Amino acid sequence: MSSYCVATYRCYDDKADFHKKAQSIAVGLTVGSWTELPAAKQKEMEKHLGQVLSVQVTEASDAPDGSGGRYADIRIAYPDINFSADVPALLVTVFGKLSMDGRIKLIDLQFSPSFLSGFGGPKFGVAGVRELLGVHDRPLLMSIFKSVVGHDLEELSHQFYGQAAGGVDLIKDDEILFENPLTPIEKRVEACMAAAGRAQAVTGQKLLYAVNVTGPASKLADQAKKAIAAGANAILFNVLAYGFDTLRELSADPDINVPIAAHPALAGALYPSPHYGISASVLLGKLMRLCGADLVLFPSPYGSVVMPKEENMAIRHALVTDKLDEDYVYRAPGSVDNLPSLLLRSSFPVPSAGIHPGLVPWIIRDFGTEVVVNAGGGIHGHPLGTAAGGQAFRQAIEAVMNGVALADYAESHPELDAAIERWGAKQ
């Protein structure tokens, strides 16, 4: 019995016969032609033929997503035998040339048990990151270097200490900080981890520093190992620039035994259109988790680079759900597999961009406590300084966890009060 991975497409066309369209996709992306083949050849090729599972047509002129137009959601199963067990091969199979065939978007993927069993997922995941930090009962707080290009080690170390002294749990490089003569990765790690040690002596708090691993793809693993040898305890990776399989290899490497934070750079070229590209929940949810991201950054619904809330919630679900058989797995009718129970550690969702302390109630309301609150300007732009910016976020988290309104908590916490005065507060 064949096993299959399943792609779901949303296809827009005002006049098309969507059932014929679905059949042409199933054939065209697998065996190429079917009715022209002699019966004997059809029997031989049947195991390679794509299968149309369903076609759901919406005739309404105003689609629910506001895109307008007549569309169909088409589900097609692709035999595993057609492609190697890696994400690049799967994506090229199900959406390679099809992505250029008019208004069609890949909105979901399900994987066969055998395909899924080849992926380890996050090495640490939510529970592992929490264990490293010793923080189990609240959302985590991440801060971002702001203004990094052209600064030397002394300036970066000073900026790092200010963030760490504010009580953040994680600090990440900016995604545009590449290998350069002023702050080479090993010396950058040494300087920043020394600053982390000085801050920990004051705060009593551990933190993770996600250093940006960059350079030629063939040398990325060596770069990561150099950083770890210098003391790095996390890495940041621009996944979409290098590819999902590169993330998978970094995560699977036994010598890269630190959490990986996945940055969404370039994602905006792929997910925002209702008519083209790949849905955010697949691009920044399922595939990031499958290939080993422990933390995944994506635009929040609240800040300066806004993603619709329903897409945020779909990403969150893909990153944290433990219902793999329901959301990730497709078992062909009549198939029997003896694989053990499938398990992928959950990945931390990290809604980002334009976050300030006054948004913390909304973040926790929508994402729960298994979330990383991620801030750049909301920490560095605090009227009382960078350390106070971190403290204001921690105070906002404490207020929400204790069921206290931010305005009330701010009466005895000047850092939070100053943040609310500057940016306002949501309740």
Residue 240 belongs to a domain with what CATH number? 3.20.20.110
Is 142 found in the same domain as 60? no
Domain edge (last residue) among 110, 137, 170: 110
pLDDT band at 407 (very low <50, low <70, confident <90, very high): very high
The single residue listed with the structure tokens 């990094």 is 148
- Give start and end residues of each alpha helix (H) in 85-209: 87-95, 113-116, 125-133, 153-165, 185-203
User: Is 105 an annotated catalytic residue?
Assistant: no
Q: What confidence tier does 44 reach under pLDDT thresholds 50, 70, 90?
A: low
Residue 180 is predicted with a pLDDT of 87
**pLDDT score of 354:** 86
Together in a domain, 9 and 156: no
Residue 324 within a domain: yes
- Shared domain check, 242 and 277: yes
Q: Residue written as tokens 């050849």?
A: 41
- Are residue 79 and residue 146 in the same domain, yes or no? no
Q: Which residue has the tokens 């690049």?
A: 88
**25 CB-near residues (< 8 Å, 6+ apart):** 9, 50, 74, 76, 98
Average pLDDT of the segment spanning 322-346? 79
pLDDT over 90, % of the chain: 75
Residue 179 binned pLDDT confidence (cut-offs 50, 70, 90): confident
Q: Are residues 400 and 319 both part of a single domain? A: yes
pLDDT for the residue 323: 87
Specify if 185 maps to a domain: yes
Q: Are residues 154 and 12 in the same domain?
A: no
Mean pLDDT (whole number) for 74-92: 96
- Residue 86: its pLDDT value, please? 96
CA dist 240 and 296 (Å) reads 12
Residues 358 and 216 both lie in one domain = yes
Q: Of the residues 15, 20, 97, 123, which is catalytic? A: 97
> Considering the chain, what is the average pLDDT of its residues?
91
Do 267 and 361 have their domain in common? Answer: yes
Domain holding 268, by residue range, is 125-423
Residue 34: per-residue pLDDT: 47
Instruction: State mean pLDDT over 234-252.
Output: 97
User: Is the domain of 233 the same as that of 261?
Assistant: yes
Across the range 286-307, mean pLDDT stands at 91
Give me the numbers of helices (H) and strands (E) for the chain, helices first please. 19, 13
Tell me if 395 is assigned to some domain.
yes
In a domain, 117, yes or no: no
At residue 356, does pLDDT exceed 90? Answer: yes
Q: Final residue of a domain: which of 62, 85, 110?
A: 110
Instruction: Determine the Cα–Cα distance for residues 258 and 299; give it in Å rounded to an integer.
Output: 24
In a domain, 177, yes or no: yes
Per-residue pLDDT at 386 exceeds 80: yes
Rounded Cα distance between 389 and 383, Å, is: 8
pTM of the model: 0.93
Q: How many domains does the chain have?
A: 2
Whether the pLDDT of residue 63 is over 60: the answer is no
Of 110, 145, 168, at which residue does a domain stop? 110
* Residue 50 pLDDT > 80: yes
By C-alpha distance, which of 236, 189, 187, 192 is closest to 214? 236
Q: Using alpha carbons only, what angle is made at residue 283 by residues 278 and 284, rounded to the nearest 5 degrees?
A: 140
Distances (CA, A) of 6 to 107, 133, 317: 11, 38, 19
Is 119 inside a domain boundary?
Answer: no
Residue 135 and residue 104 in one domain? no
pLDDT digits (tens, 9 = 90+) for 182-241: 888 899 999 999 999 999 999 999 999 999 999 999 999 999 999 999 999 999 999 999
Q: Are residues 95 and 132 in the same domain?
A: no
Stretch 43-71: mean pLDDT:
77
Calpha distance 387→199 (Å, rounded): 10
Query: What average pLDDT does the segment 98-112 reach?
Result: 96
Q: Is residue 118 part of a domain?
A: no
**Alpha helix positions (H), 50-111:** 87-95
Inside any domain, residue 337: yes
Tell me how far apart the alpha carbons of residues 256 and 233 are, in angstroms, rounded to a whole number: 10
| Mean pLDDT within 305-314 | 89
Please report where in the chains the tokens 């096993």 appear, as a residue.
3
